[in-house]
Structure 1
Amino acid sequence: MTYVITEACADSKDAACWEACPADAIHPGPQEASFREHAQLYIDPAACIDCSACEPVCPVEAIYPEEDVPEASQDSIAANRDFFATRTA
């Protein structure tokens, strides 16, 4: 299991989750050059340690455990994975 940021984060990009993440799994962070280029933040499924620290601090309730992502937001699972696939390619 990993956590997923859904499209509810789009255009909000509140960095509370980034600050709370002890594994540095949330990107792009506010310090990254690409921060402004992306509409939302993403959780790296390979780096996420499933600690859930990000979930309660999200002001727009955009973060879910992968198996609990609402049906209407299922595309967010692939969007998170795809974001990191393009960063390492």
Structure 2
Amino acid sequence: MPHVIVQNCCNDASCVTECPVDCIHPTPDEPEYATAEMLYIDPDVCIDCGACIDACPVSAITTDYELTAEMAPFETMNADYYEAVGSSADRDHPFTDPRIGRKRPASDAETLSVAVVGAGAAGTTW
């Protein structure tokens, strides 16, 4: 598990909007958010990008290898939450592709279109 939310979570969900793979739950759009004491990071979906760490106003998120002995139980708590409710990769989220665990574009087109915007070297094609 790359990241773990520890006890001092303030539950303001600023980390939820920053997560590029939608692995932090419950979100404010989910019914259990209203009664949740903390949020949880899905260990199977987290890509270790660190966006949640930067967004957390109370420094409640850490990497699994930086857990202290007091914080170690929270690694199990995060994993247990997703064992009970199901992985966020399995959730029916309109923008999450469970095959790759990342947000997908609005269309399901199999081809990728890329545009390079800029001048000079940024617009050069080889």
Q: Of the candidates 26, 49, 52, which is equivalent to residue 51 of structure 1?
A: 49
Which structure 1 segments of 5+ residues have no match?
none
Equivalent residue letter for 1:66 = D
Q: Which has the higher contact order (CA 8 A, sep 6+)?
A: 1
TM-score normalised to structure 1 length: 0.92
Give the deviation of 1:13 after TM superposition. Answer: 0.2
Other structure's SS at 2:12 match = coil
2:2 corresponding residue in structure 1: 2
* 4+ residue segments displaced more than 4 Å: none
Give the deviation of 1:73 after TM superposition. Answer: 1.0
Give the deviation of 1:55 after TM superposition. Answer: 0.3
TM-score normalised to structure 2 length: 0.66
Give the deviation of 1:70 after TM superposition. Answer: 2.1
What RMSD in Å do the two structures reach over aligned CA positions? 1.4
2:39 corresponding residue in structure 1: 41
Larger radius of gyration: 2
Aligned residues between the structures: 87
1:79 corresponding residue in structure 2: 77
The percentage of counterpart residues that share the same residue type is 38
Give the deviation of 1:37 after TM superposition. Answer: 2.1
